[in-house]
Copies of this chain bind each other. A is one copy, B any other.
């Protein structure tokens, strides 16, 4: 593994977390609601989506990332709200996430629902009030983000995932679930960063393809790690997918088949980057990093 990309990820994480922890220092949010929002927002995690946004921006030779930080934070807020709602008893009914109590276990269900609603709503306000963006840029970003996270995006993925749990999925159906449930926000990260980095229409089109493959790669690797991963490095139990008879890439394709799928998609993603003329960028390094990660 490349030392510098690990360093880059670490730095990105710190910049993003600094922004996130500054959001609610001076607001009129009821104490308990604010505590619940920050409990989940500042609970750590990979910060994958904002880091991808930064990397996409930096891939266009931009150095000052201040312009991207509120959008990156807004994206993480939406990801966080989706985790809070996914963990609810009516959904996945999880008591723990990353070793800590889930929001509704730490607070209560009503507060968790409202904290999720609040983070979602507030993410759009954060972009709308960003003084470093023009009105046109804000409208582009809000349009893309609301589409990616709405009923034709992430929420659709959640519904398809729930419906898929009732019957085994085909490879095509499984890919559709992931394309929506995690892929759409990953795609937003790439497109938003590139757009703010002044990418051309042609480059954006190729990066949409890149983002699609990257989203699937991320999921395939997740599924593989659930089979062969190290419980300690992952911070969660392995083997749960098979136990739950979940539709996964290893279950559908076998372990070798899933690994081949990963290689094939990495190749395609790389090609999309070349077509966008941004090979040898942070995005390329992140692509390799995610395809090889062990946690």
Contacts and interface: CB of A to CB of B under 8 A. Distances in A.
Interface of A: 27-30, 32-34, 37, 81, 85, 88, 90-91, 108-111, 113-114, 116-118, 120-122, 124-125, 128-129, 134-136, 138-139, 142-143, 146-147, 149-152, 155-156, 158-160, 162-163
B155 A118 contact: yes
A155 B117 contact: yes
Nearest to A146: B125
Contact of A30 (B81, B122, B159): B159
15 contacts: A29-B156, A32-B159, A33-B155, A37-B151, A91-B110, A118-B155, A121-B149, A121-B150, A125-B142, A125-B150, A128-B139, A128-B142, A128-B146, A134-B135, A138-B142
Contact of A146 (B33, B122, B139): B122
Given A124-B124, A128-B143, A159-B33, A151 B90 contact: no
Contacts of A85: 113-114, 117
A contact face: mostly helix, strand, loop, or mixed: helix
Contact of A155 (B90, B121, B143, B149): B121
Given A33-B151, A88-B113, A151-B29, A143 B156 contact: no
Closest 4 CB pairs of A and B: A90-B109, A125-B146, A118-B151, A135-B135
Contacts of A111: 159
Given A27-B151, A30-B163, A33-B159, A110 B122 contact: no
Contacts of A114: 85, 155, 158-159
B117 A120 contact: yes
Contacts of A128: 139, 142-143, 146
B27 A152 contact: yes
In this complex, the member of A27, A29, A90, A138 whose beta carbon has the largest number of chain B beta carbons within 10 angstroms is A90
Contacts of A143: 125, 128-129
A283 to B, nearest CB: 26
B109 A151 contact: no
A178 B13 CA distance: 40
A29 B128 CA distance: 26
Contacts of A139: 128, 135, 138-139
